[in-house]
């Protein structure tokens, strides 16, 4: 995994917080609202960058989810 720029790290952290509180990832509009982006497209571009770096992935119906590789790696490191 590559090191993330500050904004990508902040968005990823927000996505994790939102997930733990709501049991789903935030909609792009929610990310845009939280970070005061002018449009949801800016949020989408950041999320796509996170996807490209392997932090999130798409499921069978093309919705974003946290990458399983990271989740299994984290669990192994905690044991």
Write out the DSSP string of the chain.
-PPPPHHHHHHHHHHHHHHHHHSSPPPHHHHHHHHT-SSHHHHHHHHHHHHHTTSEEE-TTS-EEE-HHHHHHHHHHH-
The pLDDT-based confidence of 37 (bands split at 50, 70, 90) is: very high
58 touches 51 (CB < 8 A): yes
Question: What is the mean pLDDT of the segment spanning 47-69?
Answer: 83
Report the mean per-residue pLDDT for the chain.
84
Question: What is the mean pLDDT of the segment spanning 10-34?
Answer: 94
Residue 22 in this model has a pLDDT that exceeds 80: yes
């Amino acid at each position: 995994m590559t090191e993330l720029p500050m904004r990508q790290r902040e968005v990823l952290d927000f996505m994790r917080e939102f997930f733990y509180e709501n049991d789903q990832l935030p909609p792009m509009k929610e990310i845009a609202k939280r970070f005061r982006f002018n449009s949801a497209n800016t949020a989408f571009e950041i999320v796509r960058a996170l996807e490209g770096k392997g932090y999130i992935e798409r499921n069978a119906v093309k919705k974003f989810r946290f990458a399983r590789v990271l989740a299994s790696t984290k669990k192994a490191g905690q044991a």
